[in-house]
C-alpha cells in the first residue's frame, strides 16, 4: 500500500490539495482533522470545558467515532449520527485543537488512522501523519503558508459566502491555533525530517496542486528506481551468484542438458525467451543454458517449500498467485521486462508431451506480451529424443537468433496481431528443431 502524508498548519490548503491528488491518483483521502473535530464535538455536547483535560479523558471511552466513504466522500459519524457538517464551526475547531493536545485522545485515535493506511492507498492529511502515524510514508509533504496568506484566503472565502469579517480577528485566531498546535508537548506540528516543504503563500490553488503533484510523482518515481536497483542487486547477489556458479553446472549435468547456439544469446535489454514445452522442468533446462538470469513464472505454492523455494528463486522463478488471475501475472512479467531482464514463456501454454510440436496449438498470449513490453524474442527449441522418462534423457537446448520487436510489425495490437506474432515466434522455434542434426 502507498501512503502519502500531508502535514501542515490549518488553512494551508491541505485538504483541497490532498483531495485533488487523491482523485487524480485513485487513492482514498483521509482528513484526520475531521476525526479530532468529531471528538471535539462530543466533548462540546457533553458540556466538558476546553480547560478540563481530565473531563476529556474521562469521557473518551464513550466516544464512538467512525469514518465512512459515501460516493467517495469522507463522512464522519459520532455515535452512529452523521456529523460531517456539524464539525465545521469555529467552536468545534477550537475544541478539536484542545482535544488533540491530550495524549490519551491521540492514543485513542492512533489505530484507527493506522489501519486505514494499512488497508488502502491513502493520502492522509493532518499534523503528525509523517512524524507519528505514518513514519514510513512513501511521500511526505509539509504544506505551509504564512499566517497572513492563510488569513487572507479565509477572509476571501467568508466574504464570498456573504459574511462580514475582520482580517485582524482571523489572523489572530490563526496565530493562536498555530501556537497551540505547534507548542503542545504531544505530537506538535512540525515537518518530518524527510518531508518536502511546500510553501504556498505565493501560489494559487492550481499552482499549489501542480506543485504537490510534482513532489508526489518525483518522489514515487525516485523510490521506484531505487528499489529497482535494489532488486537488481539482490538478484545478482548472494545465493543467486552462488547457485549460478556451482549449482547450475550440476543441474545441467544431472539433467543431461546440452546447449547449442549460445552465441545467439542477446546479451542485454528486455527479452522474452520462447520455447516449445516438453516437460515441467523445461524452465530449468533453459535457466542453466542462458548466461543471463532467466525469470519465469512458478506456482506460489512452490515458494512455501523450504530449500526448493530458495533453489527456484535463485534460478529466477517468481511467484504468482493463481487465485489472483492472469492480471497479476501479466503485470509482474511486464515489470520484470521493464527492468530489462529475461522472461521465459511457452507459446503453446501446455506441454506437448511427445506430440509433434508442429501440430499443437499456439496461444496468442506471447504476442500480447511482446506488444505490451516491446521486448525482443529469443526462440529456443528444446529437443528431447524420447519423451518417456524425459527427465533422465538427453535434452538439447537450441538457442536461435533473436527476433527484433520491430519485426513483428505491430500497428495497434489486438487479438489478430497477437496471434500473428505468436505464430511467427513459433515458426522460428520450429525452424530450430533439426538444427545440428545430420539429416
Ligand atoms: O485540519 P483541521 O483544522 O480540521 O484540524 C482540527 C484540529 O485537529 C487542529 O487544531 C489540529 C488537530 N489535528 C491534530 O492535532 N492532528 C491531526 N493529525 C489532525 C488535526
10 lines ligand 1 (CB under 6 A): yes
pLDDT beyond 90 at 400:
yes
Cα of 177 from ligand 1 centre, angstroms: 10
In this prediction, residue 44 carries a pLDDT of 98
pLDDT beyond 80 at 274:
yes
Q: Which of 50, 81, 74, 48 is nearest to 126 (CA)?
A: 74
178 lines ligand 1 (CB under 6 A): no
Give residue 232's pLDDT band: very low, low, confident or very high (50, 70, 90): low
Mutate to test the pocket of ligand 1, among 7, 10, 99 (most ligand atoms within 8 A of CB): 10
128 lines ligand 1 (CB under 6 A): yes
DSSP code per residue over 173-242: HHHHHHHHHHH-SSS-S---TTPEEEE-TT--HHHHHHHHHHHHHHHHHHHHHHHHHHHHHHHTSHHHHH
- The domain locations on the chain are 3-230, 238-430
Q: Kindly give the number of the ligand 1 atom that is closest to the alpha carbon of 93.
A: 6
Q: How far apart, in whole angstroms, are the C-alpha atoms of residue 368 and residue 415? A: 8
Average pLDDT over residues 375-400: 84
What integer best gives the mean pLDDT of the chain? 88
The residue whose CA is least distant from atom 15 of ligand 1 is: 100
Average pLDDT over residues 417-421: 95
Beta strands in 290-415 (DSSP E): 294-299, 317-320, 342-345, 376-384, 395-399
Spatial strand order of the sheet with 65-70 comes to 65-70, 73-78, 81-82
pLDDT beyond 80 at 299:
no
Q: How far apart, in whole angstroms, are the C-alpha atoms of residue 11 and residue 6? A: 13
pLDDT beyond 70 at 240:
no
**Of 30-39, 309-318, 327-336, where does mean pLDDT reach its minimum?**
309-318
3-state helix, strand, coil split of the chain in percent (to 5) is 50, 15, 35
32 lines ligand 1 (CB under 6 A): yes
CB atoms within 10 A of CB 270: 20
Cα of 195 from ligand 1 centre, angstroms: 18
Average pLDDT over residues 174-186: 87
The residue whose CA is least distant from atom 1 of ligand 1 is: 33
352 lines ligand 1 (CB under 6 A): no
State the CATH class of domain 3-230: alpha beta
- Per DSSP, 304 falls in state G
Q: How far apart, in whole angstroms, are the C-alpha atoms of residue 92 and residue 36? A: 9
DSSP code per residue over 367-389: HHHHHHHT-EEEEEEEEES-STT
7 lines ligand 1 (CB under 6 A): no
In this prediction, residue 391 carries a pLDDT of 62
pTM for the whole structure: 0.58
150 lines ligand 1 (CB under 6 A): no
Q: Kindly give the number of the ligand 1 atom that is closest to the alpha carbon of 187.
A: 15
Angle in degrees, 0-180, between the axes of helices 365-373 and 415-430, rounded to the nearest 10 = 100
pLDDT beyond 70 at 261:
yes
CB 151 within 8 A of CB 167: yes
Which residue did the predictor score with more confidence, 354 or 206? 206
CB 140 within 8 A of CB 130: yes
Give residue 10's pLDDT band: very low, low, confident or very high (50, 70, 90): confident
Burial class of residue 61, CB neighbours in 10 A (0-12, 13-18, 19+)? exposed
126 lines ligand 1 (CB under 6 A): yes
Return phi, psi of residue 305, to 5°.
Answer: -90, 115
97 lines ligand 1 (CB under 6 A): yes
Return phi, psi of residue 308, to 5°.
Answer: -60, -40
Straight-line distance from the first to the last Cα atom of the chain, in angstroms, rounded to the nearest whole number = 58
Cα of 412 from ligand 1 centre, angstroms: 51
Cα of 143 from ligand 1 centre, angstroms: 14
Q: Which CATH number fits domain 238-430: 3.40.1130.10, 2.60.40.3950, 3.40.250.10, 1.10.10.10?
A: 3.40.1130.10
Distance of CA 203 to CAs 13, 133, 144, 168, Å?
11, 28, 11, 22
Distance of CA 439 to CAs 381, 397, 433, 435, Å?
17, 18, 11, 9
In this prediction, residue 439 carries a pLDDT of 46
Which residue did the predictor score with more confidence, 226 or 331? 331
Q: How far apart, in whole angstroms, are the C-alpha atoms of residue 404 and residue 36? A: 59
In this prediction, residue 93 carries a pLDDT of 92
CB atoms within 10 A of CB 114: 14
**Of 14-18, 136-140, 304-308, 348-352, where does mean pLDDT reach its minimum?**
348-352
Cα of 146 from ligand 1 centre, angstroms: 18
Which residue did the predictor score with more confidence, 85 or 304? 85
Cα of 98 from ligand 1 centre, angstroms: 9
Length, in residues, of the chain: 439
Amino acid at each position: 500500500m502507498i501512503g502519502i502524508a500531508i502535514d501542515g498548519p490549518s488553512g494551508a490548503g491541505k485538504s483541497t490539495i490532498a483531495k485533488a491528488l487523491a482523485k487524480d491518483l485513485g487513492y482514498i483521502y483521509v482528513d484526520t482533522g475531521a476525526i479530532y473535530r468529531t471528538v471535539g464535538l462530543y466533548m462540546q455536547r457533553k458540556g466538558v470545558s476546553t480547560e478540563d483535560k481530565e473531563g476529556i479523558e474521562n469521557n473518551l471511552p464513550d466516544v464512538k467515532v467512525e469514518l465512512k466513504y459515501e460516493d467517495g466522500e469522507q463522512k464522519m459519524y459520532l455515535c452512529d449520527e452523521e456529523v460531517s457538517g456539524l464539525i465545521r464551526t469555529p467552536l468545534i475547531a477550537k475544541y478539536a485543537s484542545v482535544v488533540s493536545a491530550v495524549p490519551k485522545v491521540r492514543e485513542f485515535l492512533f489505530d484507527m488512522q493506522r489501519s486505514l493506511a494499512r488497508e488502502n492507498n491513502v493520502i492522509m492529511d493532518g499534523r503528525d501523519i509523517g512524524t507519528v502515524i505514518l513514519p514510513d510514508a512513501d511521500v511526505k509533504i509539509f504544506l505551509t503558508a504564512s499566517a497572513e496568506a492563510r488569513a487572507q484566503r479565509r477572509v476571501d472565502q467568508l466574504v464570498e459566502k456573504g459574511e462580514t469579517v475582520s482580517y485582524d480577528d482571523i489572523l489572530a485566531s490563526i496565530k493562536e491555533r498555530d501556537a497551540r498546535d505547534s507548542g503542545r508537548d504531544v505530537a506538535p506540528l512540525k515537518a518530518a525530517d524527510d518531508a518536502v516543504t511546500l510553501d504556498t503563500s505565493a501560489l494559487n490553488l492550481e499552482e499549489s496542486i501542480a506543485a504537490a503533484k510534482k513532489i508526489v510523482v518525483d518522489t514515487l518515481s525516485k523510490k521506484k528506481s531505487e528499489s529497482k536497483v535494489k532488486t537488481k542487486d539482490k538478484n545478482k547477489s548472494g545465493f543467486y551468484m552462488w547457485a549460478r556458479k556451482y549449482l547450475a553446472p550440476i543441474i545441467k549435468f544431472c539433467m543431461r542438458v546440452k546447449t547449442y547456439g549460445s552465441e545467439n544469446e542477446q546479451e542485454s535489454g528486455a527479452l522474452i525467451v520462447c520455447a516449445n514445452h516438453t516437460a515441467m522442468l523445461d524452465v530449468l533446462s533453459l535457466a542453466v543454458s542462458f548466461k543471463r538470469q532467466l525469470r519465469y513464472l512458478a506456482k506460489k505454492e512452490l515458494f512455501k517449500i523450504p530449500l526448493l523455494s530458495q533453489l527456484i528463486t535463485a534460478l529466477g522463478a517468481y511467484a504468482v498467485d493463481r487465485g489472483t488471475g492472469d492480471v497479476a501475472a501479466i503485470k509482474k512479467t511486464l515489470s520484470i521486462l521493464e527492468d530489462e531482464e529475461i522472461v521465459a514463456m511457452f507459446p503453446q501454454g501446455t506441454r506437448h508431451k511427445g506430440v509433434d510440436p508442429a501440430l499443437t496449438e499456439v496461444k496468442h498470449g506471447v504476442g500480447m506480451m511482446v506488444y505490451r513490453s516491446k521486448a525482443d524474442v529469443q526462440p529456443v527449441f528444446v529437443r528431447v529424443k524420447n519423451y518417456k522418462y524425459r527427465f533422465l534423457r538427453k535434452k538439447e537446448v537450441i538457442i536461435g537468433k533473436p527476433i527484433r520487436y520491430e519485426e513483428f510489425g505491430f500497428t495497434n495490437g489486438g487479438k489478430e496481431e497477437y496471434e500473428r506474432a505468436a505464430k511467427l515466434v513459433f515458426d522460428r522455434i520450429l525452424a530450430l528443431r533439426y538444427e545440428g542434426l545430420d539429416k
